[in-house]
A and B are shown apart, each in its own frame.
Chain A
Amino acid sequence: MLSKIFSIFGAFFLNQGKLHTMNILVFLIIIGILVAGGFLVGFIWSVKSGQYDDMYSPSVRVLFDEMKPEKKKIRLSLKK
């Protein structure tokens, strides 16, 4: 499967004639934009969901032990 994909890519670069070695740049750019765009979307989501509103208490909260399971159940039922 994987080798098939690679062979398609390889064919693309080899068949483009003169510019073939540089065409990898186009892919890099597309991948770069997609990856960076993914992080941007993640960042926008994190800001909008208020994760930057309070930068202190999460650092403390992580040290508290999990509360008993009953609480989790209630939380789940709330979401429904």
Chain B
Amino acid sequence: MGVNCIHCGEDCGKHPVLLDDKPFCCHGCKTVYQILNTKEMGQYYRIRPMSGIRIEQTETGNKYAYLELEEIREKLLDFSDGGFSKVSLFIPGIHCASCIWLLENLNTLNPGIIQSAVNFPDKTVSITFKDEQISLRQLVELLASIHYIPEITLDKLDKKESQRSDRNVLLKIGIAAFSFMNVMLYNFPEYLPGGEELGGFFTRVFGWLSLLLSLPVVFYSASDYYLSAFKGLKHRMINIDLPITLGIFTLFFQSAYEIISGHGIGYMDSLTGLVFFLLIGKWYQGKTYQALSFERDYKSYFPVAVTTLVDDNEQTIPLSKLKKGHHILIRNQELIPADSRLVKGNANIDYSFVTGESLPVPKNMNDFIFAGGRQVGSTIELVVEKEVEQSYLTQLWNQDSNKQQSESGLNTLVNKVSESFTVAILFVAFSAGVYWLLNDSSLALFAFTSVLIIACPCALALTVPFTFGSTMRAFGRSGFYIKNSEVIENLQKIDTVVFDKTGTITLNRSLKARFVGEPLTRDELCMIKSLAASSGHPLSTAVKENIDCEGLLEVEDFQEIPAMGTSALICGKRVSMGSKKFITGKADESSGSTAVYVFIENRVAGYFQIENTYRDGLAEIVNRLQKKYELYLLSGDNASEKKNLSVIFGSGKNLFFNQSPSDKMGFVKKLKENARKVLMIGDGLNDAGALLESDVGLTIADDIYSFSPACNGIVEAGKFDRLYDFLDFSHLAMKVVKLSFAISFLYNIIGLFFAVQGTLSPIIAAILMPVSSVSVVAFATFSVHYLSTRKIS
């Protein structure tokens, strides 16, 4: 899409960092480039102290004052001992080699920093520093000043366990691989003609060795499968892990019996190989996006600490200590953490993330203000009315959290297939057993166990991890990040798509202003732009950005009346801009739309109609989706956009406005009750309930690492127009799964052919099992890769 970084060559995305008109992907690259320019070219990466770095004195003010609080410091630090402390900080901005270099050379910026190490996939940096030379607050401020702003949130403070599960899978794979290779070596003579002439001594030694080596595999590496099968049974469900468990145990006990009784060498090679392949599949599927968070709650949205006023003294306290009756100070762009009442200042609350209203709402003295809004403008003082846990927004989250149980994924295709599969296999095994019992009782038990062994659905169990794992990677490459592979299966069942408006199909902080009235002269336009540029109100910004005019004029006697408008003398002429009431004196009756009226010198010149800007390709994507899916739009905003949206959506009957967060949730619930499979696409907290309620909830994010409500997947904002392709691809992935199932069944039938006759030899098991697994895995991976290069990249 965009330009490439002049330093590292990566895509700069939509907003490159510019220096002398050269584009950079991040401030890290820019900084390194600056060093490069001030020094000789040859000294790249060899510059001793980072002399070239300009630490920008950004105005952090008291933003990080809370880091000096002992209880927050304690929670944040990994350890602190003898004057040294270690802290791990999540920095979403880490994204290229320059970032790693800069962050790992922090010690040249401040001697108090001893060591810093970046974990790239986690996007964290762990820093060891001397307490007496640099405090945690100074450290964070230093990072912020070089544009690596750490994200410190409440939920990160509360839970601190690292992703050990990833390591556990690796350990299990390592042990299984070790046993598999060795056991295969011991069984190798059996694979060759004449192997049985090896002699009883070696058969016994090899047998016992393989029994020994298979113990850690059976009791450690494969333990997750037993647990999962057991859990399934507890819920009265037969999942894919049950036949696997059956297979593993039959293999193990049959082989152990053969070895101990001296009958033979058993099937330990097949057993260890089976577990090894299964674990590889699990690992492949489990490699998700570590740095992305799909499970956020209000804790990661709210600030860690708030500024309170105690006897006119500012004091920072942790959010958990905030009580009813506290006076709190909220500065520009800060979040209101609890439901409270306005006591001082001009409140202008941006609720776009909470309710979907695109414009800030002005509040009057003593008005009740819901938590979650963001103050725009000057500092305000509030009295807390309800504690954080009891605020409206928090309640909305909490009522949802118990809903998540329902999506435990027991209805997946694999489990449905394996249910009938297990029943069928048990039936075949028993019939074979009974048949041989009547004809040749010595073979009965062997035939029975052979069926269970050969039917162990290794290939079947590998199909889904590899197909969906590859699909997830393909999606990830195209800017669509999903939580886990179940989402793919749910995606292809979707028949209804519900959109949110603000931030989802409209661009977040970009409004269109269309002038209505007699055409203005160039000078007049410049005057309006100059006035608009003097105010920070979003509407002023919208007007400013939509007027094309070079240079600003001098503004005198500037006045801004909250909730009304602005006024100033420009070139000796009085120019005013604001609400209809402010400019014309008449009350604004049209509740639907937003307009900024303009007054120049002595007349009302007209007004700017404020409209949302829609994402690129919206009309096209809606058009394509409409052919296959039923579309709805739920907006928390007013109906001012209905006309525009009706054109895009074909008609206005599926467009709903003024929807509260619980309305949205109820709407999705009702759709589901009518047996619709719902895909909800939203972006803010106001969609959180609906996202959880839907079958698949996706959020659109400009920055995928920034806060987004709990969801099943995150779509990069720029890839919004590919949505149809993503949905389409999920169908293809499902077809690949079904084909792979067919292939693995074919192998099973061949195996069963031998098993029911009681002629299954270790060699047939040893050949059939890996061949079926490898061919299924290869088919799944290659076909998904091939399809993805054609369809979605």
Chain A residues within CB distance 8 Å of chain B: 19, 22, 25-26, 29, 32-33, 36-37, 39-40, 43-44, 47-48, 50, 52-57, 60-61, 63-65, 67-68, 71, 74-75, 78
The contact sample of 11 A-B pairs, CB cut-off 8 A, is: A29-B205, A40-B174, A40-B175, A47-B171, A48-B171, A54-B121, A63-B45, A64-B101, A74-B114, A74-B115, A78-B84
Q: Is B424 an interface residue (CB 8 A)?
A: no
In the complex, the answer to whether B167 meets A68 with C-beta atoms within 8 Å is no
Residues of B within 8 A of A (CB): 45-46, 48, 84, 97, 100-101, 104-105, 107-108, 114-115, 118-122, 128, 163, 166-167, 170-171, 174-175, 178, 181-182, 185-186, 199, 201-202, 205, 209
Q: Are A40 and B46 in contact (CB under 8 A)?
A: no
Which residue from B104, B108, B171, B182 sits with its C-beta under 8 Å from A44? B171
**Of A36, A54, A60, A67, which one neighbours B182 at CB under 8 angstroms?**
A36
- How near does chain A come to B150, taking the closest CB pair, in angstroms? 18
A56 nearest CB across to chain B (Å): 4
- Report the minimum CB–CB distance from B129 to chain A (whole Å): 11
Contact, CB under 8 Å: B167 / A26: no
- A54-B170 in contact (CB<8A): no
Name the residue on B nearest A60 (C-beta).
B97
The prevalent SS among residues of B at the interface is helix
- Nearest first, the 7 A-B pairs at minimum CB distance are A56-B120, A57-B120, A60-B97, A40-B178, A54-B119, A43-B174, A47-B170
- The main secondary structure of chain A at its interface with chain B is helix
Task: List A contacts of B101 (CB < 8 A).
Answer: 60, 64
In the bound complex, residues from chain A placing their C-beta under 8 Å from that of B199 are 19, 22
User: A64-B104, A78-B115 known; A29 and B209 CB under 8 Å?
Assistant: yes
CA–CA, A43 and B177, complex, Å: 11
Residues in chain B near residue A71, CB distance under 8 A: 107
Chain A contacts of B105 at CB under 8 A? Answer: 67
Given A47-B174, A52-B167, A61-B104, 7 further pairs, Cβ under 8 A: A22-B202, A39-B178, A48-B171, A54-B120, A64-B104, A67-B108, A74-B115
Shortest Cβ distance from residue A70 to the other chain B in the assembled complex, whole angstroms: 9
Query: B residues within 8 A CB of A29?
Result: 185-186, 205, 209
CB atoms of B167 and A33 under 8 A apart: no
Please indicate the chain A residues that have their CB under 8 angstroms from the CB of B171 in the complex.
Answer: 44, 47-48
Query: Is A60 a contact partner of B100 (Cβ separation < 8 A)?
Result: yes
Contact B45 A64 (CB under 8 A): yes
Residue of B nearest to A39 (CB): B178
Please name the residue on chain A nearest to B128 by beta carbon.
Answer: A78
Q: How far is the CA of A26 from the CA of B208 in the complex (A)?
A: 13
| Complex Cα gap A54–B46 (Å) | 25
A32 to B213: give the CA distance in the assembly, Å: 13
Q: Which residues of chain B come closer than 8 Å to A55, judged between CB atoms?
A: 121
Contacts of A25 in B (CB 8 A): 202
- Bound: A63/B45 CA distance, A: 9
CA distance A39 to B178 in the complex (A): 9
Q: If A36-B182, A54-B120, A64-B104 touch, does A75 touch B170 (CB 8 Å cutoff)?
A: no
Indicate if the CB atoms of A65 and B46 lie closer than 8 Å: yes
A36 adjacent to B178 (CB under 8 Å): yes
Known A-B contacts A36-B181, A47-B171; the reply to A56 vs B46 at CB < 8 A is: no
B128: A residues at CB distance < 8 A = 78
Chain B residues contacting A56 (CB-CB under 8 Å) are 120-121
Contact status B100-A53, CB under 8 Å: no
> Are B182 and A32 in contact, CB atoms less than 8 angstroms apart?
yes
Asked whether A78 lies within 8 Å of B170 as measured between CB atoms, the reply is no
Cβ contacts under 8 Å, A68 to chain B: 48
Q: Separation in Å of the B47 CB from the closest CB of chain A? A: 9
Chain B residues positioned under 8 Å from A48 (CB to CB): 167, 171
* Set of chain A residues within 8 Å of B178, measured between Cβ atoms: 36-37, 39-40
CA distance A67 to B113 in the complex (A): 14
Contacts of B209 in A (CB 8 A): 29, 33
